[in-house]
Amino acid sequence: MLHSRFIKVVSLILLISFIGGELLAQYEATQVPSMEPVALDADSTEVALQEEPAEDKVEAERAYVFANLEEARIAGERDAKGNLAFGLGGFAVGLPGLLIASMYNPTPDTETMRQIAQNNEPEYAEAYRTSYSKKTKKKNLRNAGIGWGLSVAASAYLWFRLIEANEEESW
């Protein structure tokens, strides 16, 4: 039989490790500012074009660039894949596995980046690379945190089983 104290300790350890893994996965980084284009009716657009055509071109180009960068960000996040090796590392070595996962800077493969650079602007390729790296790093940290949590839970289980076995032998 499992002691209620053991179940509480394991639950607390798992909860702390999952929360810690999520907190480590969140990190400060520069973000591409998002800007939503404002929809205008046909009459006001014509008036604005007649009054200040240079500013409208700049605004339209800026809206296009931001929409294009948002598309690159979404594509980079979609293509990001976490590495299971970080989960195994978190399980095997614990906290150092989390630290290694936090220091590792993943990048998309060179062939994908070459195709993106040939078909799009440099800003698009940079936004894709940045978002891919952020999302992959977050997934790697999550995997390492889960591995570490499982390791702590397994260790606690074995430790309580050994204590229980010693108590039974002493009687």
- Residue whose tokens read 């978002």: 131
Reported as a pLDDT band with limits 50, 70 and 90, residue 167 is: confident
The average pLDDT across 105-128 equals: 92
Task: Read off the pLDDT of residues 25-66 as tens digits, 9 standing for 90 and up.
Answer: 554 333 344 444 444 454 544 444 444 455 666 666 666 667
Residues in the chain: 171
21 near 146, Cβ under 8 Å?
yes
* CA angle centred on 111, ends 101 and 105, rounded to 5°: 15
Assigned token pair, 67: 């929409």
**Residue 12 burial (C-beta neighbours within 10 Å; 0-12, 13-18, 19+):** exposed
Is the pLDDT higher at 44 or at 19? Answer: 19
